[in-house]
Amino acid sequence: MTDETARSGWQNGVLAATSLLAAVIGAWVLLTLVAPQSKLLAVMAALLWAAAMTVLAVRAVRLGVYTEQSVLVVRGMARTWRIPAADVARVPVVEQSNGRGGRYFAPVIMYYVTAEPRPVASRATPSGERPTAGVLVPWQSAPTEQDARRYAERIEALVARARAATGESTAQ
């Protein structure tokens, strides 16, 4: 059972509603365009499309960062990460481009890699340092660094509570 969460309910709701709307409109378009050739194919395509969009709507509702005991669960649209709270190194805010000339700020959950990663030149660390990896959390982005920092602070508070619940130190 989920103990704590850092998520944006209104953003999740908008994404879910958009996915459900796409399910209805897409199914209607498929039924309209494909039905003259094959009614069975049209119905199957419409059902498949509606099912895929409904799955995306459910994923959209569940977007966020949660804690489950001593694990940080980061749910995205296509993937879920499970990161032990003890392995979270920091949660910085980074500036990103939206691809159309605009900028946004989003938190990144940086965590220590416990398994030996594949050899990649960009992952080289000075000897003695533990390698880290990061999870960008774009669904908790904001137009200003200060607003994105609030999301990052909520995530850091979740990590601290998860560590406290298991008796771990918050300092790494």
Q: How many Å apart are CA 124 and CA 115, to the nearest integer? A: 15
Summarize the confidence of residues 45-62 as an average pLDDT.
Answer: 94
Average pLDDT over the chain, rounded to an integer: 85
The pTM of the full predicted model, rounded to 2 decimals, is: 0.74
What are 6-42's pLDDT values in tens digits? 887 888 899 999 999 999 999 999 999 998 899 999 9
